[in-house]
Amino acid sequence: MTLGTFIIVSVIKIVIALFVLLTGVAYTVWLERKLVGRIQNRWGPTRVGPFGLLQPLADGAKFLFKEDITPPHVYKPLYIAAPMIAMIFAVTSMAVIPIGDWVTVAGVHTPLQITDVNIGLLIILGITSIGVYGIALAGWASNSKYSLLGGLRATAQMISYEVALGLSLVGVLILSGTFSLRGIVDAQAGTWWGWLPKWNFFQGQFVAFFVYLMAAFAETNRVPFDLPEAETELVAGYHTEYSAMKFAMFFMAEYANMFTVACLASLLFLGGWHGPLFGPTWLQEILPVFWFALRVFAFIFLYIWIRGTLPRFRYDQLMKFGWKVLLPLAVANLVITGLVVALRA
């Protein structure tokens, strides 16, 4: 592939990925309102369009046309930069996530991924860990006590759970022997006895999977770990002082992070895009993307379901859970996986 084709193909992929991600984010908000509504015996949005399907558009328009208030007491440069940092890093991690196998479009054979890096997983971990700055700086720059408390809580929570999150992924890395996300998915191809897929989840990584799931909930500040923005105690936490599009950026960043985490869970533990393939060639090229999207949707659904079910943790419970339950579990899983792999070799 020449440099010119490479750049054109990359730009097309980036545009498509951004469009799909942002639309997905908008409709996840719709899905969440609808599902939580049904869980609480309400209807959710129904007025705008059929089933309220145009609600995200209306919300977007509202965010755009609202007055953008900058309170006089804030530290301006960081106050403006913080939502951008959160948004940029939430979207960037999409760059290394593969959503399907190789396809051939118009004579160009290309993977369904913006770029395949040999340290893909490390990059995603790094980007998520830098994403903390958006929230921490928002809390500090807002110069108000609720925001500061929200920022402090977010920082402490994300540092604590990042340890468990990172350690839970090491087991998967030991099994597949590569950092490249495509390589990890390729290592999960095939089945045992013709019916049990060789997903990492079935290769003994179920403890790691649950640790990852809990830590991921905490990393994305979702219920039951949404202490940084607990509206009953901190008004709205780190985004108390934000309005209009700046608030929308935090909001979108949170949902984009949910997508990243869901994609990562599907890729690392549930076999990525592997699934039954049938039909003509074009269908066989599309089906992996469908299977992958199905898994991601299942995770998003789980997120919303848990939000509709569980109450919020207390702060000391949160810290205790992270350090005294999740971390030992992750370490134990790591040791046992290492032992099994060493004995098998």
Interface of this chain with other proteins, residues 275 to 314, rule: CB under 8 A: none
Residue 109 tokens, joined: 């054979």
Single residue of 53, 130, 236, 298 touching other proteins by CB under 8 A: 130
Smallest gap from residue 179 Cβ to other proteins (A): 6
Binding residue (CB under 8 A) for other proteins from 129, 289, 298, 340: 129
Interatomic CA distance for residues 315 and 276, integer angstroms: 44
Q: What are phi and psi of 166, to 5 degrees?
A: -60, -45
| Interface with other proteins (CB under 8 A), residue from 30, 63, 79, 140 | 140
Neighbours of 294 (CB within 10 A): 12
Residue 86 neighbours by CB distance under 10 Å: 29
Q: Judged by CB under 8 A, which of 136, 218, 248, 296 binds other proteins?
A: 136
122: contact with other proteins by CB under 8 A: yes
Provide DSSP, 42-110. Answer: S--S-SSSGGGTTHHHHHHHHHHHS-----TTS-HHHHHHHHHHHHHHHHHGGGG---EEEEEETTEEE
Site map for other proteins, 71-90, x if CB under 8 A?
-------x------------
| Closer CB to other proteins, 55 or 176, in the complex | 176
The stretch among 10-18, 25-33, 111-119, 329-337 that binds other proteins (CB under 8 A) is: 111-119
Cβ–Cβ under 8 Å, residues 98 and 181: yes
- Binding range to other proteins, per CB under 8 A, among 47-55, 96-104, 116-124, 251-259: 116-124
Q: Which two three-digit tokens encode residue 184?
A: 């990890």
Is 183 one of the binding residues for other proteins (CB under 8 A)?
no
Binding flag, residue 162, other proteins (CB under 8 A)? yes
Residue 341 binds other proteins, judged by CB under 8 A: no
Rounded Cα distance between 155 and 162, Å, is 11
Number of residues in contact with other proteins under rule CB under 8 A: 29
Q: Which of 31, 94, 123, 253 binds other proteins (CB under 8 A)?
A: 123
Q: Give least dist CB 279 to other proteins, A.
A: 35
d(CA 229, CA 277): 43
Q: How far is the CB of 171 from other proteins (least distance, A)?
A: 16
- Separation CA 345–CA 107 (nearest Å): 42
CA distance 113 to 160: 31
Binding residue (CB under 8 A) for other proteins from 15, 80, 159, 332: 159
83: how many CB neighbours lie within 10 A of its CB? 24
The contact set with other proteins (CB under 8 A) reads 3, 6, 78, 117-119, 122-123, 125-126, 128-130, 132-133, 136-137, 139-140, 148, 151-152, 155-156, 158-159, 162, 166, 179
